[in-house]
Amino acid sequence: MGRRGAPKPGAYVHQINVSNGGVPKRPVSEARITVNGVNGDRQRRRSIHGGPNRAVCLFALEVIEALRAEGHSVAPGSTGENLTLAGLDWATLKPGAVVRVGDTVVLEVTGYTAPCEQNAAWFLNGDYTRISQKRHPGCSRLYARVLREGVTRTGDPVRIYSPAISHSR
């Protein structure tokens, strides 16, 4: 991941996605991110989605593009991610990584998301396990908790930090 605090060249927020529950999520140009998640976004099953350690769902534009090249109809926001990020080496992003989004938002990756049957429509033969970390490492969405709240906008830079840095709220 490079030296601590070094930005990934060209890494940025490609799209911010919210919904009233379910998928696909629709794009918005900016959103406030709190410890409870992305303002304007709701989940139908709070026991599965959301909560402090699953406040924000992340996915990579490059993975989406690779899936589309395989013939899947997945698009930014369709799998339920809140932030579609671009310009990162997605396969190397692991739980414990700290992600700074824009000037204020700081997230900590808490884990890989389990693929959801609600995403079957976007995948050939309904095989939504195509985004399973266990079956296809490096192709999963990620959950994150919010270490520092703030507003993020489409195009904001994204930086990956070592898990050992400190954060003030």
Domain boundaries, the chain: 7-161
Q: Which residue would you say has higher pLDDT here, 2 or 22?
A: 22
Contact between 50 and 37 under an 8 Å Cβ cutoff? The reply is yes
The residue length of the chain stands at 169
Q: 87 pLDDT exceeds 90?
A: yes
Pairwise CA distance, residues 131 & 19, whole Å: 20
Token pair belonging to 31: 């959103």
13-17, 53-57, 65-69, 114-118, range with the lowest pLDDT: 114-118
Burial group, residue 140, by CB count within 10 angstroms (0-12, 13-18, 19+)? buried
Residues 6 or more apart in contact with residue 113 via CB below 8 angstroms: 54, 57, 131, 140, 141, 142, 143
The answer to whether residues 13 and 152 touch, using CB atoms and an 8 Å cutoff, is yes
Among the listed residues 81, 84, 70, 83, the one whose alpha carbon sits nearest the alpha carbon of residue 23: 81
The sign of the CA dihedral 60, 64, 66, 67 is positive
- Best CA proximity match to 4, nearest among 84, 90, 97: 97
Q: What percent of the chain has pLDDT over 90?
A: 72
What distance in Å separates the CA atoms of residue 156 and residue 20, rounded to the nearest whole number?
24
Residue 93 has pLDDT above 70, yes or no: yes
The pLDDT of residue 7 is 45
Cis peptide before 157 (omega within 30 of 0): no
Q: What pTM was computed for the model?
A: 0.88
Arch. (CATH architecture) of 7-161: Beta Barrel (2.40)
